[in-house]
Chains A and B, each alone.
Chain A
Amino acid sequence: DTGVSQDPRHKITKRGQNVTFRCDPISEHNRLYWYRQTLGQGPEFLTYFQNEAQLEKSRLLSDRFSAERPKGSFSTLEIQRTEQGDSAMYLCASSKESRARTEAFFGQGTRLTVV
């Protein structure tokens, strides 16, 4: 499977713990996006990278959230001191930006439950 891969698929954690999610984009895709989705809502943009540079961050991305893409390939999203409100599906997407094709492909997501 050469699609976007996310790990883990599910994570249950206690409030106050730190969690880290990983995303492996489609090979040679230079853009990588993180979104959060809660039940019944559309995905909400968190942040995106162009290669290793983090170009935009949503105001939804509080100080407890940090994302990295150190070598311009895979990315990690860390949530520190998790809160129950962080429970959601965290989606990663990637795209190869060019004039012709800019569609973003999503992974299956990591479902986070904070208890």
Chain B
Amino acid sequence: GESVGLHLPTLSVQEGDNSIINCAYSNSASDYFIWYKQESGKGPQFIIDIRSNMDKRQGQRVTVLLNKTVKHLSLQIAATQPGDSAVYFCAERGAGTALIFGKGTTLSVSS
């Protein structure tokens, strides 16, 4: 079926380290992907997106990589800070459909 999953439910890193959060998707027809960050009690916050015609996109301290061959998406956060602690979701969208979310990875950053 159409679903998005994440490899690890939790990730713990030290402040200043680089973080890599992974996501596997199953719908090869999906052409658009987004990473969201969600803090406790708040709605998901847009981080970065990527279309299927790209394999890499960079933002401020974040990079998204897309490997369509193995249907894998990753979010890299450089110099992770305590404020980056949250749950991270990847979401996919096929043409004409709504975003479908995975279960999320909880990132914990310790000082």
Cβ-based interface call for A108 (8 A): yes
Cβ-based interface call for B83 (8 A): no
Interface size on B, residues (CB 8 A): 21
A102→B32 contact, CB < 8 A = yes
Cβ-based interface call for B29 (8 A): no
Q: Which residue of A lies closest to B49 (CB)?
A: A103
Interface of B is mostly: strand
B46→A104 contact, CB < 8 A = yes
Query: Shortest Cβ distance from A75 into chain B, in angstroms?
Result: 14
Cβ-based interface call for A85 (8 A): no
A45→B98 contact, CB < 8 A = yes
Q: Which residue of A lies closest to B9 (CB)?
A: A40
**Residues of B contacting A35 in the complex (Cβ-Cβ under 8 angstroms):** 101
Among B32, B49, B100, B101, the most chain A Cβ lie within 10 Å of the Cβ of: B101
Cβ-based interface call for A74 (8 A): no
Cβ-based interface call for B103 (8 A): yes
Query: Shortest Cβ distance from B105 into chain A, in angstroms?
Result: 10
B89→A43 contact, CB < 8 A = yes
Q: Which residue of A lies closest to B89 (CB)?
A: A42
CB contact under 8 A between A108 and B43, given known A42-B89, A43-B89, A102-B32? yes
Is the interface on chain A under 10, 10 to 19, 20 to 34, or 35 or more residues?
20 to 34
CB contact under 8 A between A91 and B103, given known A103-B49, A104-B34? no
Docked pose: A68 CA to B99 CA in angstroms: 19
> Of B44, B89, B98, which contacts A56 at CB under 8 A?
B98
Q: Which residue of B lies closest to A48 (CB)?
A: B98
Give per-residue flags for B76-93: 1 if the beta carbon is below 8 A from chain A beta carbons, else 0.
Answer: 000000000000010101
Q: Which residue of B lies closest to A58 (CB)?
A: B98
> Of B43, B49, B89, B91, which contacts A107 at CB under 8 A?
B43
Q: Chain B: residues with CB nearer than 8 A to chain A?
A: 4, 32, 34, 36, 42-46, 49, 89, 91, 93, 97-104
Q: Chain A: residues with CB nearer than 8 A to chain B?
A: 4, 6, 33, 35, 40-45, 48, 56, 91, 93, 102-109
